[in-house]
Structure formats: C-alpha cells, structure tokens
Amino acid sequence: MTGTDIEAVIIKELRKFANDTTEVSPDTNIVRDLNLPSLDVMELVMSLEDDLDISIPLDRIADIETVQELAELVRTLSTKADV
C-alpha cells in the first residue's frame, strides 16, 4: 500500500469522527483541527488496525499530530509486520 492509499484510508475513517463540513487533508492536525477527544483517537486507531490488518501500539500515537504523520507511522508498522 502506498502512502497516498494509507492517507485515503485514514481520511475515510476520520470523517466518521469529524464534523461533516470539516475538510480533512494530509496536513490536518488530528487533535487540534478536528477537536478529536482522546477516546475517539483510540477508536480511530482500532478501526485503522482492522482496515489495514496491522497493530498500532497506543504509545506510538502520542507524538502524532497530522494525518500525514499517522500515515507514515502506519507505513512503517506495515513494513515491519511484513518482514
């Protein structure tokens, strides 16, 4: 899966939590721009784990701010899982 594909999956999942009118792009700051509570962030992680069939440890999420950064983390974890 390419970085763009992963971003698309993340944006699709984020739309479930965000206000319909809010624009979500790779540069969107997940917590600040979308006002996502920490519980929703954990639910988002759970959904992404299922969509992408990987494990995303919660401690790795702490430093993530943007959709792009999350996609990069997911890509790294996917590569690791494939090894």
Partner 1 sequence: MGIMDKFKDLGTAYDDVKSAGRDPFSVRFDEILSPTEGVIDGKKTILLGTNNYLGLTFDKRSVEQAVSVLRESGTGTTGSRIANGSYGWHQRLENDLAEFFGRRHAMMFTTGYQANLGIIATLAGRDDHLVIDADSHACIYDACKLTSAQVTRFKHNDPVDLGKRLSRLKSQGGNIIVVTEGIFSMLGDKAPLREIAAVTKKFGAYLVVDEAHSMGVLGVNGRGLAEEQGVEDQVDFILGTFSKSLGAIGGFCVSNIDDFDLLRVACRPYMFTASLPASVVASVVTSLEKVQKGQFLREKLMGNAKRLYDGLQSAGFHVGPDVSPVVAVQLPSPEMAVAYWNALLDEGLYVNLALPPATPMGQALLRSSVSAVHTHQQIDKAISLITKVSRDFGAIIPERITSVG
- Interface contacts to partner 1, rule CB under 8 A: 37-39, 42, 45-46, 49-50, 53-60, 80-81
Q: Considering beta carbons, is residue 2 or 62 the nearer one to partner 1?
A: 62
**Cβ-based nearer residue to partner 1, 23 or 63:** 63
CB of 23 to partner 1, least distance (A): 24
Closest CA relative to residue 26, chosen from 62, 65, 67: 67
Nearer to partner 1, 16 or 25 (CB): 16
Q: 29, 70 in Cβ contact below 8 A?
A: no
Q: How far is the CB of 39 from partner 1 (least distance, A)?
A: 5
Burial class for 79, CB neighbours closer than 10 Å (0-12, 13-18, 19+): exposed
